[in-house]
Structure 1
Amino acid sequence: MINNLKILLAGILTFTAAAISSAGGTGGGGLFIPILTIVAGVDLRTASSFSAFMVTGGSIANVFRYMFAKHKLIDYDITLLSEPCMLLGVSIGVICNRVLPEWLITTFFAVFLGFSSLKTCNSGVSCWKKETQRKGSLRGSNGEPLLLSSEIEEVVFEEEEDKIPWVKVGMLVVIWFAFTLVYLFRGNKYGQGIIHIKACGKLYWIISSVQIPLTIIFTTWILCTKKNLNKDASSDHLQVQEINDEVESRNGSSDNFIFPSMALLTGILGGLFGVGGGMLISPLLLQMGIEPEVTAATCSFMVFFSSSMSAIQYLLLGMDHIYNALAFAVICFVGSIVGQTLVHRAIMKHGRASLIVFSVGIVMVLSTVLITSFGAVDVWRTYKTGQSMGFSKPC
């Protein structure tokens, strides 16, 4: 009876977390793992595998909504330039997670995510003030309100027939498949893989290092074909192009390295802290001046590829309680639909795209408090039991 109540409570909290996370395009892993471990009493290893399925379930709902909406918001160029470096960064971060002591990881997490949460909340307040000024300027001479900014956007884009750039989507699938194959051949730290390889043996590190040339090849390929692809990318957002043009006019082609560098850092931090990249890359995109709607849509698209790759790995390498993981994934799928619908209606009614920024900030603050507290308790337990608190070997 007690276990059933715990599962029920975990399901309700998971649904709420998925609804909040979906609005900002973040995966929600920073909330799912603490819910599963603290509320449902699941061990950390199982919670991590469940989280991959749960994030994938929520991201599927987001991706379908954004890809097949009337007005396309996903910036496929940002996704293409970021995905290879993010996947490489995750692998590097996972290795650092094994080597660095728990107390150091917890400290880094608290400082970085606390700072990012503060910046995100400040961005939300700034965006809210700009929206208030914009709404005030949209009143007629008689004081009657004219169309809200969001309603104006609906009118402007109503006649547009945005098409999905299937060439870019196909390139992303190729990148996803290539990195997934590397992970499956290499296996995990327990030696589980589609071929038998000694964990942390020579062949293990050789296969792992293949990700570096893969990242270089894919990023170079994307940069070389970027001009041709942009001719067909009618769904790319105009503001992103204006930002790229402005940076390019000042720094030449340096804008081509902004997103890959940012994605590499985000991937490393995500792998180090054990959270999804969406929660980390979303505030960075907002700080670069990308519109909140575009940020949420693009992050959701990127999270789908990274989380689905993790879920496939867990599935093929063998995991317990698959049906329970799928059940939580369905809960996150429904929660994401509900969250997206409510936030979209609120934005259209009040003209407040800043609601997306605040949802990102809420997820980050909650994740910071939960994961930092959980990590601090774990560090204290390690200290009390006399276990080593120094650096460790990767395997």
Structure 2
Amino acid sequence: MKLHIDRLDARAPPPRLTLVRAAAAASKKPLLGNYSEAASRKFLGSRYSCFVRAVKMSAGAAALALAWAVFTEVASAERPLKDEIIKPKIFVEQEAIFARVINFLWQAGGSSYQPVWPEMKFGWKIVVGSVVGFFGAALGSVGGVGGGGIFVPMLALIVGFDPKSSTAISKCMIMGAAGSTVYFNLRLRHPTLDMPLIDYDLALLFQPMLMLGISIGVAFNVVFADWMVTVLLIILFLGTAAKALMKGVETWKKETMMKKEAENMLESETKQDVAEGSGEDYKPLPSGPASSQDEEVPITRNIYWKELSLLMYVWVAFLIVQIVKTYTETCSTTFWIMNSLQVPIALSVTLFEAICLRKGTRVIASKGKEITNWKLHQIFLYCSCGIVAGMVGGLLGLGGGFILGPLFLELGIPPQVASATSTFAMLFSSSMSVVQYYLLNRFPVPYAAYFVVVATIAAFTGQHVVRKIIAVLGRASIIIFILALTIFVSAISLGGVGIANMVEKMENREYMGFENFCVPS
């Protein structure tokens, strides 16, 4: 459509000016008050030119609007064909899938978490749960993994807690089992060296990073959906269990070779003594990893106070940060500042130990004659593993020993020392996570206190029984096999519980995305 606007003759007086003149002549008053007629003409002429420009612009805008209306009307008639040409169907489907994924993972204010705390009363659930928890704590304390992979399914499937409350109570049980195990190990010495069973330098390197990871993991526990936790758990645990099993087989073979060599030496020396007619009975030195552990020593002899004070400094500093955080608004500036303070606290102690190890002023003495000459990238990698172990512990309600135990074995640490040291580090991290879960009101105190007592007794019993078995058989690889078995059973049980919850939520069409950390449920 073509629009045409007739031009007005510039020489002809404007219509509006003619009307004004007529009105002025009729009233016999000067045009526009005291203004002269020339000034009036000039003023009204400028107003007229503005009027013309406005008309032209309006006409142009009207023309554009009309053209756009015609264009869209024509385009809409061919819309199916245009969509197929400009945007193929597969792109449309991918965009729709992407939109559904985003909507599935995040909805403003969306939350499906509802705490389930069964009433505490004596019944078959408490009895069966106590028995399962007892064996889980006994095995977990010996393997140095805490037993959280057995506690969480027991609390969810048997007792009836929701998954996140089960995670929190599991941490309480790990704390009780770790405390009992550390008390037991503080009276024991290294299997072959004159030093405590717990390697304090190893703990100094990993414990601060473990606690930093715990804080991150607890936050992830609030945000992550259950199905995300399940996927991470199955992948991590199956890989760790396979690694620990291979390490156990390798250690078993080494022990078998050492036993054969010892028997050959004993046989040759016995024949030599008989030939010489000495008549003295040959009494071989006690073999096996428990040889130097038979004699218990005072606890104070096995405590290195300087290293312990550094570990306590980290724990107390983290505790103060967590308590102060409770008096701040979630996600406020002060809240994030307090959270960020945990980083320099942890790094200060870990860097101190790492620099000392790099310079050689400190060594991982539990490895024996093998010299520890770690490079910077190795130390960084090991410390990162400590953070990951803490994150897994805080997220899944497990002990960091599920990662630290196999890692220590890979570093060449004897199984007894690896188990004792990882449990020692877990005592600090688990107690800190219990404080965090308590401040978040994630578990009922009576239930938690009861299961802490069960885990404490079970851990002490398990340590006594397994140490006796190791002393009789002379095979420390039993600890590694218990470690691998506990991790594998945990992967199956926790994975099964997680998959069952996923299916139930999908059937009920419940929200399965991220929770809002700033508005915790």
- With the shorter chain as reference, the TM-score category is 0.7 to 0.9
Spell out, residue by residue over 1:278-299, the C-alpha distance to the aligned partner (whole angstroms, 9 max, x if none).
1221112222222111110001
- Indicate the SS of the match to 2:470: helix
Provide the rounded CA distance (Å) in 2 between the counterparts of 1:262 and 1:181: 25
Partner of 2:3: none
CA contact (8 A) 2:133 2:454 kept: yes
Partner of 1:242: 370
Partner of 2:334: 203
Q: Aligned to 1:335, which of 458, 463, 466?
A: 458
Partner of 2:187: 68
Provide the rounded CA distance (Å) in 2 between the counterparts of 1:152 and 1:335: 21
CA contact (8 A) 2:205 2:350 kept: yes
Q: Does 1:16 align with 2:135?
A: yes
CA contact (8 A) 1:84 1:219 kept: yes
Spell out, residue by residue over 1:180-214, the C-alpha distance to the aligned partner (whole angstroms, 9 max, x if none).
2222222xxxxxx2x1x322233322221222222
Spell out, residue by residue over 1:55-103, the C-alpha distance to the aligned partner (whole angstroms, 9 max, x if none).
1111111111111224421111111111111122222233344444433
Structure 1 residue 154 displacement after superposition: 2.2
Structure 1 residue 178 displacement after superposition: 0.7
Partner of 1:150: 288
Partner of 2:503: 380
CA contact (8 A) 1:73 1:293 kept: yes
Spell out, residue by residue over 1:6-65, the C-alpha distance to the aligned partner (whole angstroms, 9 max, x if none).
101111111111111111111111211211111111233433332222111111111111
Spell out, residue by residue over 1:98-150, the C-alpha distance to the aligned partner (whole angstroms, 9 max, x if none).
44443333222111210111111111111111111111111122698955532
CA contact (8 A) 1:101 1:389 kept: yes
Provide the rounded CA distance (Å) in 2 between the counterparts of 1:278 and 1:328: 20
Provide the rounded CA distance (Å) in 2 between the counterparts of 1:238 and 1:210: 32
Question: What does residue range 114-133 of structure 1 map to in structure 2 within 5 Å?
Answer: 114-133=238-257
Structure 1 portions without partners, runs of 5+ = 187-192
Provide the rounded CA distance (Å) in 1 between the counterparts of 2:140 and 2:152: 14
Q: Which moved more, 1:82-91 or 1:214-223?
A: 214-223
Question: Percent identity, aligned pairs only?
Answer: 31
Aligned partner of 1:214: which letter? I
Aligned partner of 1:285: which letter? F
Q: What count of residue pairs does the alignment treat as equivalent? A: 379
CA contact (8 A) 1:134 1:149 kept: no
Q: Does 1:293 align with 2:431?
A: no
CA contact (8 A) 2:218 2:394 kept: yes
Provide the rounded CA distance (Å) in 2 between the counterparts of 1:229 and 1:327: 46
Provide the rounded CA distance (Å) in 2 between the counterparts of 1:44 and 1:159: 42
Q: Which has the higher helix share?
A: 1
Structure 1 residue 388 displacement after superposition: 3.2
Partner of 2:211: 87
Aligned partner of 1:360: which letter? L
CA contact (8 A) 2:240 2:402 kept: no
Per the normalisation by structure 1, the TM-score is 0.85
Structure 2 portions without partners, runs of 5+ = 1-119, 191-195, 271-282
Q: Does 1:77 align with 2:205?
A: no
Partner of 1:44: 163
Structure 1 residue 303 displacement after superposition: 0.8
Partner of 1:189: none
Provide the rounded CA distance (Å) in 2 between the counterparts of 1:207 and 1:319: 21
Q: Does 1:110 align with 2:110?
A: no
Provide the rounded CA distance (Å) in 1 between the counterparts of 2:475 and 2:456: 25
Q: 1:269 to 1:138 in 2, by over 3 A?
A: same
Q: Does 1:326 align with 2:449?
A: yes
Partner of 1:167: 306
Q: 1:95 to 1:107 in 2, by over 3 A?
A: same
CA contact (8 A) 2:290 2:470 kept: no
CA contact (8 A) 2:218 2:395 kept: yes
CA contact (8 A) 2:130 2:454 kept: yes
Partner of 1:305: 428
Q: 1:269 to 1:132 in 2, by over 3 A?
A: same
Structure 1 residue 254 displacement after superposition: 4.7
Partner of 1:371: 494
Provide the rounded CA distance (Å) in 2 between the counterparts of 1:334 and 1:127: 30
Provide the rounded CA distance (Å) in 1 between the counterparts of 2:467 and 2:208: 30
Provide the rounded CA distance (Å) in 2 between the counterparts of 1:274 and 1:320: 12
- Indicate the SS of the match to 1:387: coil
Partner of 1:213: 344
Partner of 1:141: 267
- Indicate the SS of the match to 2:250: helix
Provide the rounded CA distance (Å) in 1 between the counterparts of 2:223 and 2:168: 21
Q: 1:328 to 1:269 in 2, by over 3 A?
A: closer
Per the normalisation by structure 2, the TM-score is 0.66
Q: 1:336 to 1:113 in 2, by over 3 A?
A: same
CA contact (8 A) 1:73 1:237 kept: no
Spell out, residue by residue over 1:250-298, the C-alpha distance to the aligned partner (whole angstroms, 9 max, x if none).
x4x5554343222012223333433221122111222222211111000
Partner of 1:177: 316
CA contact (8 A) 2:354 2:379 kept: yes
Provide the rounded CA distance (Å) in 2 between the counterparts of 1:348 and 1:276: 26
Provide the rounded CA distance (Å) in 2 between the counterparts of 1:65 and 1:44: 31
Q: Does 1:282 align with 2:405?
A: yes
Provide the rounded CA distance (Å) in 2 between the counterparts of 1:143 and 1:20: 40
CA contact (8 A) 2:152 2:397 kept: no
Aligned partner of 1:141: which letter? E
Partner of 1:29: 148
Spell out, residue by residue over 1:142-167, the C-alpha distance to the aligned partner (whole angstroms, 9 max, x if none).
69895553278429999999542111
Partner of 1:190: none
Q: 1:37 to 1:254 in 2, by over 3 A?
A: same
Aligned partner of 1:61: which letter? S
Provide the rounded CA distance (Å) in 1 between the counterparts of 2:213 and 2:434: 18
